[in-house]
Amino acid sequence: MKKYIDTGKKDTRSGFGAGLLEAGRRDARVLALTADLKGSLKMDAFAAEFPDRFIQCGIAEANMVGVAAGLAISGKIPFIGSFAEFVTGRVYDQIRQEVSYGKANVKIASSHAGITLGEDGATHQTMEDIALMRALPEMVVINPCDFNQTKAATLAAAAYEGPVYLRFGRPSVPNFTPEDAPFEIGKAIVMNEGSDVTLFATGHLVWESLLAAEALEAEGISAEVIDIATIKPLDVEAVLASVGKTGCAVVAEEHNSAGGLGELIAGVLAAAKPAPLAFVNGRDAFGQSGTPAELMKAYGLDAAHVAEAAREVLKRK
């Protein structure tokens, strides 16, 4: 079944850095702004090659959003970068009023998302950012699963006209999608075909869901794994087609239960194709300090919990 193989662990934020550099080489309108986190956002290579297109805003996230909105109005394509907690919750009003409401062509690059930020703890982790961003009209929300997909998604975001929220993380995780795989905003990706249960996953949970599908296959359970890299706009057609085939599903995400991908898919199914559904997420809780691996296990965000959720939902099929 090993259709996807870990070719070496890389952090998804480095995928963003590689994508940003390539986007800058392709289009001179691409700019990069950060709030004193150039290294953490892997913007170093871009800043070195295009120093006149890099703006260090300092620890002033709200001002950074305003500067980016102004640059977008003047025809530039600004990427603003900070930790997910700081570039969503701290500046939500500015994003709403200056970017989303105005349909400004600003790309919000959020690193260190979810609990896999690790030892920095709850104040720097965010498990609410997807809920905040997908609630905004006009905002595209992308949560890629590995280095290669993050690079491709960054290039797609640069080419897209309108606000985009890009979510990625700090820890090194398996890099398993093809290097040359195209990324289309709004399209789900079938990673593994199956007939008994669908595993919808996003971000770091895609790899865990592939591992879960492998374990389930050993038990005679055929699991379809679908990568929801674009959370908004959701590929509703792909969701309904898969659940129409399997009859039940699990949604796995490194995000709180409220406002995440699970609630989004539940709403789609409730309206068009009711089916048994189970959830693997961070529950209604803040993060805490620990290594990424420890926290993923503590919050039930691993292959074992995805597989168990699949077994449970199959009983209600």
Residue 263 bears catalytic tag: no
Provide the pLDDT for residue 184: 97
Distance CA 11, CA 166 (A): 14
- pLDDT of 118: 62
Lookup: tokens for 65 = 């959003």
**Residue 6 to residue 115: CA distance in whole angstroms:** 22
- pLDDT for 141 beyond 70: yes
pLDDT, position 288: 83
| Per-residue confidence band for 113, with pLDDT thresholds at 50, 70 and 90 | confident
If you average pLDDT over residues 102-122, what whole number do you get?
85
Neighbours of 224 (CB within 10 A): 22
- Tokens 């409220």, residue? 258
Rounded to an integer, the average pLDDT of 265-273 is 96
Q: Identify the pLDDT of residue 4.
A: 86
Cβ(42)–Cβ(12) under 8 Å? no
Mean pLDDT lowest among 100-104, 118-122, 245-249: 118-122
Confidence of residue 72 (pLDDT cuts 50, 70, 90): very high
How high is the mean pLDDT of the chain? 94
Q: Which two tokens stand for residue 50?
A: 């295009």
Residues 6+ apart with CB under 8 A from 159: none
pLDDT confidence bin for 117, thresholds 50/70/90: confident
Helix orientation angle between 261-272 and 236-246, rounded to the nearest 10 degrees? 70
Q: What pLDDT does residue 1 have?
A: 53
Give pTM, 2 decimals. 0.95
Q: What is the largest CA-CA distance in the chain?
A: 59
Task: Write the DSSP string, the chain.
Answer: ---S----EEEHHHHHHHHHHHHHHH-TTEEEEESS-TTTTT-HHHHHH-GGGEEE--S-HHHHHHHHHHHHHTT-EEEEEEEHHHHHTTTHHHIIIIIITTT---EEEEES-BGGG-TT-TTT-BSSHHHHHHTSTT-EEE---SHHHHHHHHHHHHHSSS-EEEE--SSEEE--S-TT----TT--EEEE--SSEEEEE-TTHHHHHHHHHHHHHHTT--EEEEE--EEES--HHHHHHHHHHHS-EEEE-SS-STTSHHHHHHHHHHHH----EEEES--S----SS-HHHHHHHTT-SHHHHHHHHHHHHTT-
Which of the following is catalytic: 61, 224, 254, 263?
Answer: 61
Distances (CA, A) of 11 to 79, 172, 202, 243: 19, 4, 15, 31
CA distance 285 to 277: 21
